[in-house]
Structure 1
Amino acid sequence: MTQLQVAIDLLTTEDAIALATKVAPYVDIIELGTPLIKSEGLSVITAMKDAFPDKLVFADFKTADAGELEADMAFKAGADYVTILGSTGDSTIAGAVKAAKAHGKAVVVDTIGVQDRVKRAQEVIKLGAAFVELHAGLDEQAEDGYSIQVLIDEATRAGVPVSIAGGVNLDSIQAVKESGAVVAVAGGAIYGAKDPAAAAKALKEALN
Structure 2
Amino acid sequence: ADLKTADAGELEATLAFEAGADLVTVMGAADDDTVRGAVAAGRKYGKEVVADMISVTEGRVARIREVAKLGVSFVEIHAGLDEQARPGYSIEALLADGREAGVAFSIAGGVKAATIGLVKEAGAAVAVVGGGIYNAPDPAAAARELRRLTA
Fold conserved between structures, TM > 0.5: yes
Whole-Å Cα distance in 2 between the matches of residues 123 and 203 of structure 1?
A: 32
Aligned residue in 2 for 1:112: 54
Whole-Å Cα distance in 2 between the matches of residues 80 and 196 of structure 1?
A: 26
Aligned residue in 2 for 1:133: 76
Runs of 4+ in 1 over 6 A off after TM superposition: none
Q: Which amino acid aligns with 1:184?
A: A
Give deviations 1:10-38, integer Å, cap 9, x for gaps.
xxxxxxxxxxxxxxxxxxxxxxxxxxxxx
Q: Which has the higher contact order (CA 8 A, sep 6+)?
A: 1
Residue ranges of structure 1 left out of the alignment (5+ in a row) = 1-58
Match of 1:70 among 12, 24, 46: 12
Whole-Å Cα distance in 2 between the matches of residues 103 and 194 of structure 1?
A: 41
Greater share of residues in strand: 1
Aligned residue in 2 for 1:10: none
Q: Which amino acid aligns with 1:71?
A: A
TM-score (norm 2): 0.95
Shift of 1:194: 2.9
Is 1:206 aligned to 2:149, yes or no? yes
Aligned residue in 2 for 1:60: 2
**Match of 1:61, SS?**
coil
Give deviations 1:57-109, integer Å, cap 9, x for gaps.
xx111111000001111112221111111111111000000111111111000
Shift of 1:197: 2.3
Is 1:81 aligned to 2:23, yes or no? yes
Shift of 1:191: 2.2
TM-score (norm 1): 0.70
Match of 2:95 among 144, 148, 152: 152
Aligned residue in 2 for 1:39: none
Is 1:196 aligned to 2:139, yes or no? yes
Q: Which amino acid aligns with 1:182?
A: A
Whole-Å Cα distance in 2 between the matches of residues 147 and 82 of structure 1?
A: 27
Alignment RMSD (CA, Å): 1.1
Whole-Å Cα distance in 1 between the matches of residues 116 and 22 of structure 2?
A: 24
Whole-Å Cα distance in 1 between the matches of residues 20 and 133 of structure 2?
A: 24
Whole-Å Cα distance in 1 between the matches of residues 71 and 111 of structure 2?
A: 26
Is 1:163 aligned to 2:106, yes or no? yes
Residue ranges of structure 2 left out of the alignment (5+ in a row) = none
Shift of 1:110: 0.6
Shift of 1:158: 1.3
**Match of 2:2, SS?**
strand
Q: Which amino acid aligns with 2:114?
A: D
User: Percent of aligned positions with the same letter in both sequences?
Assistant: 59
Whole-Å Cα distance in 2 between the matches of residues 83 and 175 of structure 1?
A: 24
Shift of 1:196: 2.2
Tell me how many residue pairs correspond in the alignment.
150
